[in-house]
Chains A and B, each alone.
Chain A
């Protein structure tokens, strides 16, 4: 059985916004038939946690040159463009 895809969700403090984003991604991907493992971190911690991660979703800029797909979005907080971002996340996880 293939392992679950791992999504690293980052924000400034890893306590507020990334929690909202992590929950939303987990729920929405489950509805689309994708089980994901979610991890949360501060944006500054992303480079040290990136090695076995399939996708990074962040609400704030993360360091460059991560060699993994990165989606920076506020859609899970503001609602603006949420469907498009969910499609992008799904596409990245189905690769």
Chain B
């Protein structure tokens, strides 16, 4: 059960089966959704892209299906939120612990955080989700936002 993720993830911020050729494209898409929902400022997308370029957020999970968690400083955020994309074909993200290493990423979970202490439950749930066996594959296989919410409620 991932209550806090469920609270922060608007169905409009879920993009499934995205055909993208770069991480930048996915970040722009998700940041655009959050901006359209009024949850982040217009500056958010550029800030996330800049941060990703210098300090990437790809997390290698030891298999073919890796995740990236792009985010940036709280000043660009209006309402704490998440956005999620699943990709038809993986795109490359730099690895968080070694920016020179590129990893294939099939699921992108964008974090829009306003206050680290207020969002600790959400962050903990994101880490739990990443570590839950099969959860990422289930997210990647989702064909509707309801499928995503079913994974998060499990």
Contacts and interface: CB of A to CB of B under 8 A. Distances in A.
B62 A74 contact: no
Interface residues on A, range: 20 to 34
Contact of B60 (A14, A17, A19, A78): A78
B59 A74 contact: yes
A15 B73 contact: yes
A59 B98 CA distance: 9
Interface in A10-56: 12-17, 19-20, 23-24, 40, 43
Interface residues on B, range: 20 to 34
Contacts of B32: none
Interface in B60-109: 60-62, 69, 71-74, 96-99
A12 B51 CA distance: 8
A23 B117 CA distance: 11
Given A13-B51, A73-B97, A78 B71 contact: no
Interface string A58-69: 011100000000
Contacts of A79: 130-131
Contacts of B73: 13, 15
Nearest to B71: A16
Nearest to B111: A16
Give 4 nearest A-B pairs by CB, closest first: A79-B131, A12-B55, A19-B116, A15-B116
25 contacts: A12-B51, A12-B54, A12-B55, A12-B57, A13-B55, A13-B72, A16-B111, A17-B69, A19-B119, A19-B123, A20-B124, A20-B126, A23-B120, A59-B96, A60-B55, A60-B96, A72-B97, A74-B97, A76-B127, A77-B127, A77-B130, A78-B61, A78-B131, A79-B131, A80-B62
Interface of A: 12-17, 19-20, 23-24, 40, 43, 59-61, 72-74, 76-80
